[in-house]
Amino acid sequence: MVSVDETSNTGTRKKLLFYTLEAYQIYEDKEARPAQEVSLSGFLEEFRAFPQVDEVLTIYFDESIKCVENKQRLAPSILVGCLSELLVLRLLEAVGDYLEDPNAVSNFKEKRRDIQRQLDYTREMARKGREKLEQTTTLSQPQRRTFTEFNNILEQVFNSIRLRRNECVHPSPNMTLDELPSEEVVRAHVTSFNPFAKVILGLINIFKETA
Write out pLDDT tens, residues 90-108: 999 999 999 999 999 999 9
Average pLDDT over residues 174-187: 80
Confidence of residue 88 (pLDDT cuts 50, 70, 90): very high
161 CB-contact burial (10 Å; exposed 0-12 / middle 13-18 / buried 19+): buried
Q: Is 6 helix (H, G, I), strand (E, B) or coil?
A: strand
How does DSSP assign 117-133, residue by residue? HHHHHHHHHHHHHHHHH
Confidence of residue 199 (pLDDT cuts 50, 70, 90): very high
The pLDDT value given to residue 34: 45
Average pLDDT over residues 128-133: 97
Q: Which pTM does this prediction carry?
A: 0.81
64, 76 contact by CB (below 8 A) = yes
Domain borders along the chain are 2-10+19-28+39-210
